[in-house]
């Protein structure tokens, strides 16, 4: 499918968590697992990362973070051979290939 965000995974463990609903539910709980499944679907349906609206996507240390539920976040980075950039910053409106780096509990502010 041309024009949709392509997803890679940082490790087999991250891939399993993102693609195996039963495993994700046992590791993260059903609510977080369902939210993760929906965010992955949102990524796959987007043309670029800047098309994402749900999950409050925002940059964090050169990557992006999206809210899941119950304080968990999905972390991903640009995954082009040459990541699109403007002024040494990732041009997220041009990113169509991402690598999911992990799911983590958001630290309390």
pLDDT band (50, 70, 90) for residue 1: very low
CATH placement of domain 6-105:
3.30.2310.20
C-alpha to C-alpha distance for 28 and 13, rounded to whole angstroms: 13
**Nearest CA among 56, 31, 53, 29 for reference residue 42:** 53
pLDDT for residue 47: 86
Q: Which of 7-21, 44-58, 94-108 has the highest mean pLDDT?
A: 7-21
pLDDT surpasses 70 at 109: no
Task: Encode pLDDT of 26-74 as tens digits.
Answer: 999 999 999 999 999 998 888 888 888 888 899 998 899 999 999 999 9
Domain residues of the chain, as ranges?
A: 6-105
């Amino acid at each position: 499918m041309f024009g949709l965000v392509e997803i890679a995974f940082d490790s087999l463990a991250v891939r399993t968590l993102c693609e195996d609903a039963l495993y994700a539910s046992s590791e993260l709980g059903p609510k977080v697992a369902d939210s993760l499944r929906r965010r992955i679907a949102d990524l796959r349906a987007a043309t670029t990362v800047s098309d994402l609206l749900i999950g409050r996507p925002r940059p964090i240390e050169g990557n992006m973070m999206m809210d899941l539920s119950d304080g968990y976040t999905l972390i991903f980075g640009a995954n082009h051979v040459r990541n699109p950039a403007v002024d040494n910053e990732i041009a997220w409106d041009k990113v169509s290939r991402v690598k999911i780096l992990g799911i983590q509990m958001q630290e309390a502010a």
